[in-house]
Amino acid sequence: MNPPEVPAPDEITAPWWEATREHRLLVQTCVRCAGAQHPPRALCVHCGHDALGWSGSSGLGVVDSFTVVHRAPRPELEVPYVIARVRLAEGVILLTRLEGRDPGAWAIDDPVRATWVDLDDGRALPVFVPAGPSPTTEPEPAPEQRGS
């Protein structure tokens, strides 16, 4: 897997990053309106309140959109790889990487689940893999041999 480029935590994102050390995916949640948002911000994007808490995410979502990268922005990256927006069950969008499937085989609305890529500094980065067989990718039952 390619080494991801990861920003340093700041005072707003630090709790989110700390949870990744335990492979817990958090979603910032407003104390007043219960709205969820990502990435973490100082104010609620829904109501402007500054009392924000954290809730745990199921790590389940669907592919909202994706791009297969064929030309690496850095020479050490292996191509192709897949950059995606994943919509979590909690309603927020994560900009992330899709893994575990041929890059050309992904489709919008594919169900995905979070898995973790550990970073050198102890933090971890959520990436998403197929969340199990979807109706379109279930193996066909073996065709019966029929004599004629």
Among 1, 33, 89, 108, binds Zn ion (CB under 5 A): 33
Among 25, 26, 27, 30, binds Zn ion (CB under 5 A): 30
Contact mark string toward Zn ion, 110..139, x via CB under 5 A: ------------------------------
List strand residue ranges (DSSP E) for the chain, in order: 26-30, 36-37, 52-56, 60-69, 81-88, 93-98, 111-118, 124-130
Contact mark string toward Zn ion, 44..73, x via CB under 5 A: x-xx-x------------------------
Q: What is the CA radius of gyration of the chain?
A: 18
- C-alpha–C-alpha distance, residues 116 and 110, integer Å: 19
Q: Which residues bind Zn ion (CB under 5 A)?
A: 30, 32-33, 35, 44, 46-47, 49
